[in-house]
């Protein structure tokens, strides 16, 4: 359980839930698979010099395979 403390700018004093962690927990993705997915998305960001968070999330959720993610970055959908 995470205790939320609303003191100043540090809202999460005892813990922080990231978007990727929530996706991993919700979809049952093992830790190391999620880490590899993060690295793959980071490679797309570097290669195509842009970020498409909607497609990244679809990839994390398993809705879109990695090949389609690369295609979206390459085509300039964003």
**Residue 28 located in a structural domain:** yes
pLDDT of 65 reads 94
End-to-end CA distance of the chain: 37
Nearest by Cα to 66 from 42, 49, 50, 31: 42
CA angle 65, 56, 15 (to 5 degrees): 125
14 lies in some domain: no
What is the domain range of residue 61?
19-75
Q: Say if residue 18's pLDDT is above 70.
A: no
| Assigned domain for 8 exists | no
pLDDT interval class at 13 (50, 70, 90)? very low
Would you say residue 13 lies in a domain? Answer: no
More confident of the two residues 62 and 42: 42
Instruction: Supply the pLDDT for residue 28.
Output: 78
Q: For residue 6, what pLDDT is reported?
A: 44
Which residue in this structure is represented by tokens 């403390």? 5
Tell me how many domains the chain contains: 1
Does 33 fall in a domain?
yes
Residue 41 lies in a domain: yes
Work out the pLDDT band at 29, boundaries 50, 70, 90. confident
Q: How much is the mean pLDDT over the chain?
A: 76
Residue 1 within any structural domain of the chain: no
């Amino acid at each position: 359980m995470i205790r939320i403390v609303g003191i100043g700018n540090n809202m999460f004093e005892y813990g922080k839930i990231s978007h990727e962690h929530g996706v991993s927990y919700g979809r049952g993705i093992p830790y190391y698979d999620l880490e590899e997915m993060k690295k793959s998305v980071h490679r797309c960001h570097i290669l195509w010099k842009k970020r498409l968070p909607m497609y990244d999330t679809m990839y994390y959720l398993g809705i879109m395979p990695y090949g389609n993610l690369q295609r979206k970055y390459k085509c300039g959908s964003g």
